[in-house]
A and B are shown apart, each in its own frame.
Chain A
């Protein structure tokens, strides 16, 4: 258990390193640089421009710039935003919890809806329940997130304007208020993710249901529901959990649109602002955070595998 965990951890850092290089060097390909953002294009003399570049270290070779950045990043210092003039890490520290909460809530709701419905669909394979579920899945899946989001927003403001908070309330401040501000965004992304989770659960369960040990359980008199939700689900779980982990990464990255619609001060929105303002340090830092979340979650899933499937455990 220890050895694979360590190997996994090492490879995790490897992946992050590669991602950081990609982000850094690809970013340098974009025309213009931080100095031009700070100094601005008009009214600055080349001398001023050069001075800022020298101060920021932008006159040095790219590889040196990267190593400097990396050295600071390791200590949690991603530089200062030229737009807000604040530390990038401080911005992220504020944005990250918002996005994390959104993604976590979404993961919970889509799992709570998707998994049981998926099992139900598998059990009634080819029955009307299955058909109805698959049809609604197709609908939920085909409508773009921004359409659903805007529709929900419109409906909410028309029919229950007081029920939902339009501005973000941190949960540390007011938990209920927080949930009221999160409900609509969560609902918006839950729909497609629940649909995908359901589809995944359905196919994993279908596969398991035809396994002989399911017949064994039935032959010994285990209750039908228990056969489905304990005996079968436990074996369908590993692929579903892997999928959910992957989903979580995708969700974090996919928050841009939703955070924008519902004006939540999360990472997605931070990213969008940073890109619009050519806030290079922020773009790089947020990308690294997304990558780190993705990598860490997937590593965690890998470590979870032996817990879910005893055959993966060493003897």
Chain B
């Protein structure tokens, strides 16, 4: 906690805490190999919050699980490089890998009802996380767990130690899950849909908490979600995933105001808003592709309003079109400007 807060430094000068390069994670299925993550590259800098957004099946959760090599068999990381605080995660073996988990990168999972072990008290589980990284002294265990519980806003932390998960509400359990992810003071917190299972008023509380904690400790946050509102609230930068690939990456404000990929703009326009009244929402047609046999060209081609012949045959690369703004679209130069402007003109 004494660490210099990296958030104080400018974003350009910060070092990467996580660098993922050309990651491929595959699952064998009856219908052939599904490459759920297919050539994904991104980085997370010290103290920043990167959002990884996409719909179900886009590969965002598999990406998150790949980072700490928690992909369940028969899923397998086929190739790529994951560099976490200078360590090559894919080259680590046994004990080395275990020591990285929780201490350099912590995780927060989606469902607080199932993410905690029902047979052990909250205090025991948090102590277990500390014990895994060499804390043995009972007094220190007790003190640090109480601290962690207080930090996530649990009333009366000392008493909560003997509480079982089922005796807590969903919001409280998710606070415990966050405390567990943060207790070893990792440099990166990976949160996979941390508020999806919670009620909206509780979601707001939990998001605020995560924002405050990561800021106070200078922890970088990789936030995986399908919810653009959560992205808007939490993130500095965003990477948009579609069909196993990152299709766009930009600073959060740029992404929402001037998206360059047709999928991003389509997604943004199809979100109903709580401050809007009744009315039709613009939609994208069609479905994401079958990942057992993905199209050889652009994976969004069959849903894209700007599709041309070249899109069907050539697989576009993720290119930086402006500073800190990457997109994977063959027609990005030609279409120019932002897709949002175009769509307003093109589709009424």
Contacts and interface: CB of A to CB of B under 8 A. Distances in A.
B118 A216 contact: no
B111 A309 contact: no
A54 interface: no
B117 A217 contact: yes
A213 B102 contact: no
Nearest to A234: B119
B102 A212 contact: no
A212 B115 contact: yes
A218 B70 contact: yes
B118 A310 contact: yes
Given A212-B109, A310-B164, A219 B118 contact: no
A216 B192 CA distance: 12
Interface in A212-264: 212-213, 215-224, 231, 234-235
Contacts of A308: 119
B114 A212 contact: yes
B98 A221 contact: yes
B102 A219 contact: yes
Interface in B86-116: 98-103, 106-107, 109, 111, 114-116
A217 B118 CA distance: 12
Contacts of A216: 107, 109, 115-117, 177, 180
A235 B118 CA distance: 8
B166 A310 contact: yes
Contacts of A217: 117, 128
A221 B118 contact: no
B129 interface: yes
A211 interface: yes
Nearest to B107: A219
A223 B132 contact: yes
Contacts of B306: none
B101 A221 contact: yes
A247 B282 CA distance: 63
A220 B183 CA distance: 9
B167 interface: yes
A227 B107 CA distance: 17
A201 to B, nearest CB: 16
A224 B98 contact: yes
A221 B102 contact: yes
A215 B110 CA distance: 12
Interface in B158-172: 164, 166-167
A315 interface: yes
Nearest to A210: B72
Contact of A309 (B72, B107, B118, B129): B118
Contact of B101 (A212, A219, A309): A219
Contacts of B121: 310
B346 to A, nearest CB: 44
B115 A213 contact: yes
Contacts of A221: 98-103, 129, 132-133, 184
Contacts of A235: 117-119
B114 A223 contact: no
Given A216-B116, A216-B177, A223-B98, 17 more contacts: A210-B72, A212-B114, A215-B115, A216-B115, A217-B117, A220-B101, A220-B107, A220-B184, A221-B132, A221-B184, A222-B129, A224-B98, A234-B117, A235-B118, A310-B121, A310-B164, A311-B166
Interface of B: 68, 70, 72, 98-103, 106-107, 109, 111, 114-121, 128-129, 132-133, 164, 166-167, 177, 180-181, 184
8 contacts: A210-B72, A212-B111, A215-B70, A215-B109, A221-B98, A221-B184, A235-B117, A310-B166
